[in-house]
Amino acid sequence: MRALAIDADGLDIAGNEVTTRPADPVALEQLADPALVELARRGDHGAFSTLVRRYSERAFRVAYRVVRDPNEAEEIVQEGFIKAYRALENFESRSSFYTWLYRIVVNLALDRRRREVRAPSVEWDDTVAPRVDPRAAQPDSGDPELASRRREVREWVAQGVQTLPDGQREVLLLREVEGLSYEEIAEHMQISKGTVMSRLHYARKKMLAFLADKGIVPEDVE
């Protein structure tokens, strides 16, 4: 994935050089997201660059799942980070930075899908998404009607995820998109394994109900 406009070289969202650089970039990498967000709010571009490096690939996978075009996905991710950067003052720490960024990226991706209805150039097995680079996928030569149905299902799935409460959404993303174990999710979110399992159970239950209401059965999502 190409470097975004906000990067570790001290460029701001317009691509201009800035004079404020972190004294110790290595130390920034050790900070948790809330601390980096607070520093970024104070004008520390290095702190936001750290967030970009930390989440750009994950955001790319999210965007790619909707638009199915690597170039468009990169544009969406860049636009998403710029939008997040400009809206930092409105960020509420009730949810994680990544959950907030996820909503921004998905909304941008869905908006683009609505503006530019186009056939996907590749197909994607969501069961291996965290372990496969989507840019290496091969073009699909399947049934156009099936491809259209899959596009529709992906859009409903993306919208359904956004209806979940923040805690359930984040657990679902970490498990299904990032492929983390229950223990890893618990450590990441600083909650118990039991809470992780409970949130995941209810998130999946709500997603199935949401999709069923749209006429989508589990087999359509596979």
Q: How much is the pTM?
A: 0.58
Range 187-208 average pLDDT: 92
Q: Is the pLDDT higher at 109 or at 125?
A: 109
Whether residues 136 and 40 share a domain: the answer is: no
Q: Tokens 């969202």 map to which residue?
A: 13
- Give the closest residue to 73 by CA, choosing from 31, 116, 30: 116
Whether residues 27 and 75 share a domain: the answer is: yes
Whether residues 25 and 114 share a domain: the answer is: yes
Whether residues 207 and 136 share a domain: the answer is: yes
Whether residues 105 and 146 share a domain: the answer is: no
Residue 126, SS3 per DSSP: helix
Q: Is residue 151 part of a domain?
A: yes
Range 158-164 average pLDDT: 86
Q: Is the pLDDT higher at 131 or at 49?
A: 49
Q: Is residue 123 part of a domain?
A: no
Task: Please identify, among 74, 93, 118, the residue that sits at the C-terminal boundary of a domain.
Answer: 118
Whether residues 146 and 185 share a domain: the answer is: yes
Count of domains forming the chain: 2
Dihedral sign for Cα atoms in the order 172, 107, 86, 44? positive
Whether residues 160 and 218 share a domain: the answer is: yes
Q: What backbone torsions phi and psi does residue 139 show, to the nearest 5 degrees?
A: -60, 150
Task: Please identify, among 118, 140, 173, the residue that sits at the C-terminal boundary of a domain.
Answer: 118
Q: Is residue 175 part of a domain?
A: yes
* Residue 83 in this model has a pLDDT that exceeds 90: yes
**For the segment 85-117, what is each residue's pLDDT rounded down to a tens digit?**
999 998 887 778 988 898 899 889 878 877 765
CATH number of the structural domain spanning residue 33: 1.10.1740.10
Dihedral sign for Cα atoms in the order 176, 178, 184, 187? negative
Whether residues 3 and 112 share a domain: the answer is: yes
Q: What pLDDT is recorded for position 76?
A: 95
| Distance between CA atoms of residues 49 and 39, nearest Å | 11
Among 61-65, 132-136, 195-199, whose mean pLDDT is lowest?
A: 132-136
User: Mean pLDDT over all residues of the chain?
Assistant: 77
Whether residues 110 and 216 share a domain: the answer is: no
Q: What backbone torsions phi and psi does residue 71 show, to the nearest 5 degrees?
A: -70, -45
| Distance between CA atoms of residues 198 and 26, nearest Å | 36
Q: What pLDDT is recorded for position 205?
A: 93
Range 177-195 average pLDDT: 86
| Distance between CA atoms of residues 4 and 9, nearest Å | 11
Whether residues 173 and 74 share a domain: the answer is: no
CATH number of the structural domain spanning residue 160: 1.10.10.10
Q: Is residue 124 part of a domain?
A: no
Whether residues 25 and 93 share a domain: the answer is: yes
Ramachandran assignment for 68, one of left (phi > 0), alpha (psi -120 to 50 degrees), beta (any other) = left
**For the segment 23-59, what is each residue's pLDDT rounded down to a tens digit?**
477 788 989 999 999 999 998 999 999 999 999 998 9
Q: What pLDDT is recorded for position 222?
A: 53
* Residue 197 in this model has a pLDDT that exceeds 80: yes
Among 127-131, 142-146, 173-177, whose mean pLDDT is lowest?
A: 127-131
String of DSSP letters for 23-74: S-HHHHHTS-HHHHHHHHHTT-HHHHHHHHHHHHHHHHHHHHHHH--HHHHH
* Residue 18 in this model has a pLDDT that exceeds 70: no
Task: Please identify, among 87, 118, 149, the residue that sits at the C-terminal boundary of a domain.
Answer: 118
Q: Which domain, by its residues, includes 168?
A: 130-222
Whether residues 114 and 188 share a domain: the answer is: no
* Residue 141 in this model has a pLDDT that exceeds 90: no
